[in-house]
Amino acid sequence: MATAGQQTQSAVDKTAPLTALDIERIRREFPALHVERDGVTQVYLDNAATSQKPKSVIERIDRYYRSENANVHRGMHYLSEVATQAYEESRKKVQRFLGVPLSCEVIFTRGTTESINLVAQTYGRQSVGKDDEVIISAMEHHSNIVPWQMLCEEKGAKLRVIPMTDRGELILEEYEKLLSSRTKLVSVNHVSNALGTINPVRHIIEKAHEHGVPVLVDGAQGAAHLPIDVKELDCDFYACSAHKMVGPTGIGVLYGKAELLNKMPPFMGGGDMILSVTFEKTTYSSLPYKFEAGTPNIAGTIGLGAAVDYLESIGMERIAAYEHELTQYATSLLESIDGVHLVGTAREKAGVLSFTMENAHPHDIGQIFSDCGVAIRAGHHCAQPVMQRFGIPATARASLAFYNNKEDLDAMADAIKKVKEVFD
């Protein structure tokens, strides 16, 4: 059976321009891209919600369940040793992929949401008190709003919000004014799931560190589309989810600097996060196991490792460059159609195209798209404050991945014309 690297070997000519990928070969590796409905192959443009999975990831998870299935870290038998080795190899792969200095700084969680909640309920509870402040931005996903609201309500602290422009760019001058001696944490997304804005997280981190304030970066939409080096960014925490990056659902990562993680209490109690337990006292394990209570998502973790292998076989720089080219093409298509209004026109932008149309509700747009065999998302995208900022109830959202092609985007434009036929 071919590995991920072998499968994509001819799809990537390392001497060719960054955007030169054998997309058709790559597309053949994703079974879900070939699903038909009523004889029509479905076009998938809902990648910000979840990505499709290559055969190498699917087959790796299958192999675990067929021939390696056992619990990790606890067994002395052969299957447990094999499973444990594969599980810990995935940690090392994630460490390399994200540029993490130490493997013990890679914590496996259920996803970005759990990673953020872990920080809020451990570091946050330790560090935030009455009248302290937590800073987030106006373009956050609910997962990077609600945990901080809950913490602030519990502690009597205040949630401060970085405003944004009509283009969907953060107003950095206002951000710097928010930083003060009361600021205990800054938590911002790397890429907006609703607008596609790529935020200047390095600048945000530098300014926070000038005040001695740690920064969490929500990388749910970043790790799948951009090269990430957490050491270079100097962020204190970085959170991401496997299912956004061609991996399985139910598994994610929290990177945290060891000096912070060591001071934080466990998030959950249970097996595998302890050194010893008596009725009088429990001694906790060292990193990373202090934060990985109970039987983990072993198959998901191994699948995440396979996803990292796959992405690295193509190269994140190439993925970012190709997706940028696709985004420019998609933007030009949408801008050329009368009655279509793009929401989010940041100068630094990933492949998220949120739009509204005259006379058509986004939910109707999404349904007509589906009837045309094109999968997009319609709604508030778990970012209701973003919708409020732009004075709209919802948007239709097409979101791109490196396995999409210009034909997919042409199908999107054709579906928009169908919407116009119905509502104009």
Per-residue pLDDT of the chain (424 residues; tens, 9 = 90+): 344 444 444 466 666 666 678 999 999 999 999 999 999 999 999 999 999 999 999 999 999 999 999 999 978 899 999 999 999 999 999 999 999 999 999 999 999 999 999 999 999 999 999 999 999 999 999 999 999 999 999 999 999 999 999 999 999 999 999 999 999 999 999 999 999 999 999 999 999 999 999 999 999 999 999 999 999 999 999 999 999 999 999 999 999 999 999 999 999 898 888 888 889 888 888 899 999 999 999 999 999 999 999 999 999 999 999 999 999 999 999 999 999 999 999 999 999 999 999 999 999 999 999 999 999 999 999 999 999 999 999 999 999 999 999 999 999 999 999 999 999 7
Q: Which helix (H) or strand (E) holds 98?
A: helix 78-98
Kindly state the tokens that stand for 214. 């740690």
Under DSSP, the state recorded for 265 is P
Is residue 47 classed as helix, strand or coil in its secondary structure?
Answer: coil
Cβ-Cβ contacts under 8 Å for 225 (sequence gap 6 or more): 191, 319, 320, 323, 350, 351, 401
Kindly state the tokens that stand for 93. 């792969």
CATH number of 4-53+315-423, picked from 3.90.1150.10, 3.40.50.720, 3.90.330.10, 3.30.450.20 = 3.90.1150.10
- pLDDT given for residue 10 in this prediction: 47
CATH 1.10.10.10 for domain 60-312? no
CA-CA distance, 269 to 282, in Å (whole number)? 10
Note whether 106 and 288 are within 8 A (CB).
Answer: yes
CA-CA distance, 382 to 137, in Å (whole number)? 14
- pLDDT given for residue 74 in this prediction: 79
- pLDDT given for residue 175 in this prediction: 98
Cis status of the peptide bond prior to 288, with omega within 30 of 0 = yes
- Judged on CB neighbours under 10 Å (0-12, 13-18, 19+), 312 is middle
User: Is this model's pTM higher than 0.85 or not?
Assistant: yes
Residue with tokens 């192999």: 63
- pLDDT given for residue 6 in this prediction: 41
Residues in the chain, total: 424
Q: Which of 104, 240, 372, 382 is catalytic?
A: 382
Kindly report, as residue ranges, where domains of CATH 3.90.1150.10 are found in the chain.
Answer: 4-53+315-423
Note whether 357 and 423 are within 8 A (CB).
Answer: yes
Kindly report, as residue ranges, where domains of CATH 3.40.640.10 are found in the chain.
Answer: 60-312
Angle between helices 362-371 and 406-423 (to 10 degrees): 120
How are strands ordered across the β-sheet holding 395-399? Answer: 340-343, 352-357, 395-399, 377-379
- 240 in catalytic set: no
